């Protein structure tokens, strides 16, 4: 069972570069979200989506873009990477009726130099 | 301002004994609480949850207690096993349709054989 798949697992960027973190789920979940985890900060919600074509901002959306063209995929875009975006990024999904019980991917460790 | 607080960054417990992990919250709108468990290099996994209409929920070795008047919840693990060694995150949401979880910073539990 694939569950939630995130790629890449590791990435190093230079300040100002752009990149897309990929997230795909095969559980037909309506709800998908992106979190970042920083040392001593817990997990903070970046963006989320309740279905294809619908996205909304979380607690820390600045510097990130998302789109949801299919149920399965929810990519996170960094348009101009900054050192403050160095973090571990987790994608998560869940059925809408149980949105709080998230299924997480294994994470992407991003370093911005 | 932290709305979900886990004031103990770490906890060590002997195998077979009880582990008690604590969590406090400040937002009185929170009415659904969850615990997630995270191993290194993996995403968090859902462990147990409790609605504000209850004061206790049990699932095998794991029990969550909620004290709404004190805005406090705790996770009890009995008996503790070495495989329980992980980081535990407390999370809260403010009702159906909020789609936003607020996480604490986590408590690292070490179960000593």
pLDDT at B24: 98
A32–chain B Cβ distance below 8 A for any pair = no
pLDDT at A96: 83
pLDDT at A39: 85
Q: Residues of B with CB below 8 A from A100's CB? A: 32, 34, 49, 91, 93, 101
Interface contact flag, A56 B99, Cβ < 8 Å: yes
B4–chain A Cβ distance below 8 A for any pair = yes
pLDDT at B96: 61
pLDDT at B112: 97
pLDDT grade for B14, boundaries at 50, 70 and 90: very high
Q: How far is A55 from chain B (nearest CA, A)?
A: 11
pLDDT at A52: 93
Cβ contacts of B19-22, under 8 Å, gap ≥ 24: B19/B75, B19/B76, B19/B77, B19/B78, B19/B80, B19/B84, B19/B109, B19/B111, B20/B74, B20/B75, B20/B76, B20/B77, B21/B74, B21/B75, B21/B77, B21/B88, B21/B90, B21/B107, B21/B109, B22/B72, B22/B73, B22/B74, B22/B107
Q: Residues of A with CB below 8 A from B105's CB? A: 40-42
Mutate to test the interface with A, among B4, B9, B52, B99 (most CBs of A within 10 A): B99
pLDDT at B100: 87
pLDDT at B97: 64
pLDDT tens-digit map of B51-100: 999 999 999 999 999 999 999 999 999 999 999 999 999 999 987 667 78
Per-residue tens of pLDDT for chain A, all 113 residues:
679 999 999 999 999 999 999 999 999 999 999 999 998 888 999 999 999 999 999 999 999 999 999 999 999 999 999 999 999 999 999 998 777 889 999 999 999 99
Size of interface A-B (CB pairs under 8 A): 54
Q: Which two tokens stand for residue B77?
A: 């693990």
Q: Residues of A with CB below 8 A from B46's CB? A: 101-103
Examine residue B79 and say whether the peptide bond preceding it is cis (omega within 30 degrees of 0). yes
Mutate to test the interface with B, among A100, A104, A107, A108 (most CBs of B within 10 A): A100
């Amino acid at each position: 069972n694939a569950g939630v798949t995130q790629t890449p697992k590791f990435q190093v960027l230079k300040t100002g570069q752009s990149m897309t973190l990929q997230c795909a789920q095969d559980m037909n979940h309506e709800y998908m979200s992106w979190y970042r985890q920083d040392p001593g900060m817990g997990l903070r919600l970046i963006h989320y989506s309740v279905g294809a074509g619908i996205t909304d901002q979380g607690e820390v959306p600045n510097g990130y873009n998302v789109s949801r063209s299919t149920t399965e995929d929810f990519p996170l875009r960094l348009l101009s990477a900054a050192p403050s975006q160095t973090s571990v990024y987790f994608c998560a999904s869940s059925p809408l009726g149980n949105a709080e019980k998230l299924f997480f991917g294994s994470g992407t460790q991003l370093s911005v130099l | 301002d932290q709305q979900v607080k886990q004031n103990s960054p770490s906890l060590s417990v002997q195998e077979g004994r009880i582990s008690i992990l604590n969590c406090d919250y400040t937002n009185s709108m929170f009415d659904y609480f969850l615990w997630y468990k995270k191993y290194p290099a993996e995403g968090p996994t859902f462990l147990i949850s409790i609605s504000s209409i209850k004061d206790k929920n049990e699932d095998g070795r794991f029990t969550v207690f909620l004290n709404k008047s004190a805005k406090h919840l705790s996770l009890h693990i009995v008996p503790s096993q070495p495989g329980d060694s992980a980081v535990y995150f407390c999370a809260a949401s403010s009702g159906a349709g909020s789609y936003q979880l607020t996480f604490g910073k986590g408590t690292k539990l070490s179960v000593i054989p």
